[in-house]
Every structure is written in structure tokens, then in C-alpha cells.
């Protein structure tokens, strides 16, 4: 069979298998398109909902330097949301549709943002752990089979490298500061460690291999590694870093397995994960309420700009006639 006689799905899978990128106007299986829209939208929603827990501390940052860094970081997240919505729109959906689905609770965002930021040290823990986990998740997506998603992710990963460092720096300073500051840092790490491990999603290797969407997403090269592989990578990175920070990780079972060179960690409480996912986390309702309020309060502004654009167009047309 020559190239030309191949059916469309074949051509699609051949491109994917050859590690070539799928681009917006290419033929692609419906399920591939749907999976991507869902995943990219969820990723975009996570960026913009993720602005809230940190936005919560902009007004209270304890130094002007920290205030500038935090403001720039939260603003970056809005930018990252925009890059991702832009990637999703190449698949034939409108950003407004995706936002409507988010506001209606029909599309998700990462559950991690349903936990509250209670002290300044949470800014450190989010940067170090949450952004750290996000980066481990995102780096493989820079090689994802869908071009616009991969390119957005390259940009995001490049910009995010400062996010994790500033978080680490916050915790390092606190941990080596006053006893109160050290306690604040330890408390934040205690609260954010397990939710960060849950960010990689439920187990999907070994006995759980057939669960979830992992197998199909891997065949499509949307996903390159299993949740469990990425989680292990994150743990292996984080444990020595915690040592440098002078902070402990809240897991009595955590130990180095000499045979494999990997850190073994304790049982993750997946019932908590699913409960938060279902909407029962401490901040689910508040995050959605905040987001909807911003959207609704801004409606008159967006309408005004549209009306002005139409008036201007009409005036220009009348002037030209």
C-alpha cells in the first residue's frame, strides 16, 4: 500500500508513530480531539483557578521584593492559562465555551487548588512542591503529539522555571529564620506534601495499568510516562531537596531503597483525593464562586468593548462611503 492509499486514521497513527506532530487542520480521530480538548481545557482552568490561592497573599507579602515576585508569578499563571486556551481553540472550541463549562462545574481543574493557603509559607510550599510537581508533569508534554499543546508547554515550562525556585527560596529563608518562621515552613510542607503527590493522578501502572486513560493517551503520545513513573521521579527529586531545606516530609515510611536507588513512600490516601475531586475539598465552592463572580462582574465591561468596536466599525464604514 502506498502512502496515498492509506486511510485517514492510518495516516494519523503513522504520523504519531514517527514522532511527528499533529497540527490543527490535520485529520484526527474524534476521540483524540475530544481527549485533547478535555485535557488542555483542564490544564488551562488549573492555571486560572490556581491564581487564587496565591493571589490570596499578594496584598500581604512580607517584603516588597516578595510582593513583586508573587505578583509576577500569579500574572504569569494568567498568561499560561491564555496560552493553553489558545492551544485548545485550535481544536475548534471557543474559550467562552470552555469557561462556561468550567463555571457550570462540567470541566475540572487540578484538585490541588481546592486546598487553602493559610500562611505565607504556603507560597513557598506551592512554589516548591505544587509547581515542582507540575513541571515534572509538564516537561514530557513539550513532546506531546499535538503541536499547539506542545508549543504552549515549551513556553510555559521556560517561564515556570523561576516559579519553583522562588518557592524553594521562600522555604529556605523561613526554615533558616526565626523558630516561628521555621515552624511555619514545616507546617506548610506537612499540609502540601500529600496533595502534591496526588497531583499525578491515581495509580496507573502494574495491576492498575488498564485504569483511566493512560494506555490510550500513551498510544497517541499525548502522555509519555505513567502517573506512577512521574510521581516516583518527583519523590526522588524532592527528598534530597527537603534535606537542604532542613525540613522533614510527613511520611514515616519514606526511605531509600538501596536496590533500586528510588525512594519508597507510604500509602497515599486516595479516598481524600476522590472526595476533593467530587467537590468536597475545603475550597471547591469558594474557588468557583470567586471565578464566577469575576466573570459575571466583568460582563458589562466585555459588552461595552464589543459595542464600541461595532460603533467604530460602523463609523469607519460610513466615513468611507
Partner 1 sequence: MSAVATYALRLGDDALVLSQRLGGWITRAPQLEEDVALGNIGLDLLGQARTLLTYAGEAQGAGRTEDDLAFLRDEREFLNLHIVEHPNEDFAVTMARQLFFSTWQLALHQRLVASTDEMFAGVAGKAVKEIAYHRDHADQWVRRLGDGTEESHHRMQAGLERMWPYVAEMFAVDDLERALVEEGVAADVSELRGEWDQHVDAVLREATLTRPDDLATPPGGGRRGVHTEPFGYLLAEMQHLHRSHPGATW
Partner 2 sequence: MSEDVAQREWPLWEVFIRSRRGLSHQHVGSLHAPDAEMALRNARDVYTRRSEGVSIWVVPAAAVVATSPDEKDSFFDPAADKAYRHPTFYDVPAEVQHL
Q: Which residues bind partner 2 (CB under 8 A)?
A: 4, 25-27, 75-76, 79, 82-83, 86-87, 89, 94-96, 152, 155, 159, 299, 302-303, 305-310, 312
The binder of 62, among partner 2, partner 1, none, by C-beta within 5 to 8 A per type, is: partner 1
- 95 or 211: CB nearest partner 2: 95
Q: How far is the CB of 75 from partner 1 (least distance, A)?
A: 3
* CB distance 178 to 132 below 8 Å: no
- Angstrom CA distances, 86 to 33, 48, 83, stand at 15, 14, 5
User: How far is residue 7 CA from its own chain's centroid?
Assistant: 35
In the complex, minimum distance from the CB of residue 149 to partner 2, in angstroms, rounded to a whole number: 12
Q: Dig out the grid coordinates for 33 from the structure.
A: 480531539
* Whole-number Å distance between alpha carbons of 68 and 70: 6
The option from partner 1, partner 2, none interacting with 74 (CB < 5 to 8 A, set by class) reads: partner 1
Q: Classify residue 45 as exposed, middle or buried by CB count within 10 Å of its CB (0-12, 13-18, 19+).
A: buried
- Please report how many Cα atoms fall inside a 13 Å half-sphere around the Cα of residue 246, on the Cβ side: 15
Q: Smaller CB distance to partner 2: residue 107 or 119?
A: 107
Give the C-alpha separation, 12 to 14, whole Å. 5
Minimal distance, residue 315 CB to partner 2, in Å: 12
Contact of 268 with 197, CB cutoff 8 Å = yes
Q: Cβ of residue 286: shortest distance to partner 2, in angstroms?
A: 26
Nearer to partner 1, 32 or 128 (CB): 128
Contact 165, 68 (CB under 8 A): no
148/203 with CB nearer partner 2: 148
CB 202 within 8 A of CB 21: no
Q: Which positions touch partner 1 (CB under 8 A)?
A: 48, 51-52, 55, 58-68, 71-72, 74-75, 78-79, 81-82, 85, 120, 170, 173-174, 177-178, 180-181, 290, 293-294, 297-308, 311
Nearest approach, Cβ of residue 246 and partner 2 (Å): 32
Choose among partner 2, partner 1, none what residue 43 binds, the Cβ cut-off being 5 to 8 Å by kind: none
Min dist. Cβ of residue 219 to partner 2 (A): 22
Residues 6+ apart with CB under 8 A from 251: 193, 194, 265, 266
Of residues 82 and 157, the one with the C-beta less far from partner 2 = 82
For partner 2, give the closer residue by CB, 10 or 303. Answer: 303
Q: Among residues 207 and 320, whose Cβ is nearest to partner 2? A: 320
- CB 225, CB 140: distance < 8 Å: yes
What, of partner 2, partner 1, none, does residue 27 touch, CB below 5 to 8 Å by kind?
Answer: partner 2
State the minimum distance, in angstroms, from the CB of residue 25 to partner 2: 5
Q: Phi and psi at residue 146, in whole multiples of 5°?
A: -90, 115
Q: Hey, what's the cell of 11?
A: 495516516
Amino acid at each position: 500500500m502506498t502512502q496515498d492509499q492509506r486511510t485517514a486514521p492510518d495516516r494519523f497513527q503513522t504520523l504519531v508513530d514517527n514522532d511527528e506532530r499533529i497540527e490543527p487542520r490535520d485529520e484526527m480521530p474524534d476521540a483524540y480531539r475530544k481527549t485533547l480538548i478535555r485535557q488542555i481545557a483542564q490544564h488551562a482552568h488549573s492555571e486560572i483557578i490556581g491564581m487564587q490561592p496565591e493571589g490570596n497573599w499578594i496584598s500581604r507579602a512580607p517584603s516588597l521584593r516578595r510582593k513583586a515576585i508573587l505578583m509576577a508569578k500569579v500574572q504569569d499563571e494568567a498568561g499560561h492559562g491564555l496560552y493553553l486556551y489558545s492551544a485548545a481553540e485550535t481544536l475548534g472550541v471557543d474559550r467562552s465555551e470552555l469557561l462556561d463549562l468550567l463555571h457550570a462545574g462540567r470541566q475540572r481543574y487540578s484538585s490541588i487548588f481546592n486546598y487553602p493557603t493559610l500562611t505565607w509559607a504556603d507560597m513557598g510550599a506551592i512554589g516548591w512542591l505544587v509547581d515542582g510537581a507540575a513541571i515534572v508533569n509538564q516537561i514530557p508534554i513539550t513532546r506531546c503529539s499535538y503541536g499547539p499543546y506542545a508549543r504552549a508547554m515549551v513556553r510555559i515550562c521556560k517561564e515556570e522555571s523561576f516559579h519553583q525556585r522562588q518557592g524553594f527560596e521562600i522555604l529556605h529563608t523561613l526554615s533558616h529564620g526565626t523558630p516561628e518562621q521555621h515552624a511555619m515552613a514545616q507546617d506548610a510542607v506537612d499540609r502540601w506534601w500529600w496533595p502534591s503527590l496526588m497531583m499525578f493522578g491515581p495509580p496507573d501502572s502494574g495491576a492498575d495499568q488498564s485504569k483511566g486513560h493512560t494506555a490510550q493517551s500513551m498510544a497517541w503520545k499525548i502522555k509519555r510516562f505513567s502517573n506512577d513513573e512521574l510521581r516516583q521521579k518527583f519523590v526522588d527529586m524532592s527528598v534530597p531537596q527537603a534535606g537542604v531545606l532542613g525540613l522533614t516530609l510527613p511520611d514515616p515510611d519514606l526511605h531509600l531503597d538501596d536496590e533500586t536507588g528510588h525512594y519508597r513512600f507510604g500509602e497515599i490516601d486516595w479516598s481524600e483525593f476522590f472526595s476533593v475531586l467530587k467537590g468536597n475539598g475545603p475550597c471547591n465552592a469558594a474557588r468557583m464562586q470567586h471565578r464566577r463572580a469575576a466573570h459575571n462582574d466583568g460582563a458589562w465591561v466585555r459588552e461595552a468593548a464589543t459595542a464600541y468596536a461595532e460603533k467604530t466599525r460602523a463609523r469607519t464604514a460610513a466615513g468611507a462611503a
